[in-house]
Amino acid sequence: MATPKALVAGNWKMNGVTENLVEIEKLNDLLGQGAPGCDVLICPPFTLIHQSMQVAGDHVEIGAQDCHANIAGAHTGDISAAMLTDQGCKYVIVAHSERRTDHGETNEMVRGKADAAQKEGLTAIICVGETEAERDAGDALPVVTSQVRESIPAEAVVANTVVAYEPVWAIGTGRTPTTADVAEVHAAVREVLIERFGTEGANVRILYGGSVKPENARELMSVDNVNGALVGGASLKADSFYGIIQAYD
């Protein structure tokens, strides 16, 4: 099986109103100057998904930041995977550490969401990562590998699963792990993916996320088993996000 293209995904979080759509339009224009060596995805807030689809053009995929584990029903304020495919999404992020922290999402809940997403034909971007206290205690590898074991549904294949390693202490802080630390965690994630999913696990994309910027992207993206990036702050502006994507020129 050919290794899939790297993926550079932007997570806008709870940022963006109509006037910010110009950034997606601009990103598509920049990418139109030459085919990027990676897939490019923006996950805006739910409220902008429909309009984002209109301006994303040929070079930018649009995805979502979360979905419910059920397909429909009495869940006020929630959005189902079926609603996302209905809007044309191909990807959904699940288990972002902010969801794990702010909404108490457990590995089991995350697995339910990822399972619902995959059953609807979406690719689930499943986030894992240790807190600073866990890293300081020497527990980064056991924490991350048990998240990989418990959060990813049994039916994972390359086409429906992306894993994003995001050390919680690196998100939005400007701090990043050393490339040796990134390599160590990504190798451990790969080992569990192969153990669980064989050849598919050998090819599932593993993204690195946490303070990726144009200045550090090339170095981080060159680490073994890093198959792209999940980007928060630097994805809000087309120029900085494009600067990261250029790591795959």
172 part of the interface to ligand PEP, by CB under 6 A: yes
Catalytic hit among 23, 61, 68, 96 = 96
Amino acid at position 207, single letter? L
User: Partners of 161 in the beta sheet?
Assistant: 124
Least separation in angstroms between CB 172 and ligand PEP: 4
Of 66 and 166, which has the nearer Cβ to ligand PEP? 166
State the burial class of residue 194 (Cβ atoms within 10 Å of its Cβ: 0-12, 13-18, 19+): middle
Cα(36)–Cα(54) distance, integer angstroms? 20
Rounded least distance, CB 141 to ligand PEP, Å: 20
166 is catalytic: yes
Whole-number Å distance between alpha carbons of 64 and 132: 27
Residue 164 CB, nearest distance to ligand PEP (Å)? 7
CA 106 from chain center: how many Å? 18
Find out whether 171 and 210 touch, Cβ atoms under 8 Å: yes
Binding mask 127-166 for ligand PEP (x = CB under 6 A): ---------------------------------------x
Nearer to ligand PEP, 176 or 203 (CB): 176
Nearer to ligand PEP, 12 or 197 (CB): 12
Contact call for residue 209 and ligand PEP (CB under 6 A): yes
* 56 versus 93: smaller Cβ distance to ligand PEP: 93
Distance CA 153, CA 171 (A): 25
Specify whether 59 is catalytic.
Answer: no
Give whichever of 82 and 223 is closer to ligand PEP, judged by the CB atom.
Answer: 223
SS3 41: strand
**Contacts of residue 104, Cβ cutoff 8 Å, sequence gap at least 6:** none
Residue 17 backbone phi and psi in degrees, to 5? -130, 180
Shortest distance, CB of residue 224 to ligand PEP, whole angstroms?
20
Contact 209, 231 (CB under 8 A): yes
Among 63, 167, 177, 232, binds ligand PEP (CB under 6 A): 232
Single out the residue of 233, 241, 242, 245 in contact with ligand PEP (rule: CB under 6 A).
233
Report the relative pairing of strands 123-128 and 161-165 from DSSP bridges.
Answer: parallel
Q: Catalytic positions, please?
A: 96, 166
Interacting residues with ligand PEP (CB under 6 A):
11, 166, 171-172, 209-212, 230-234
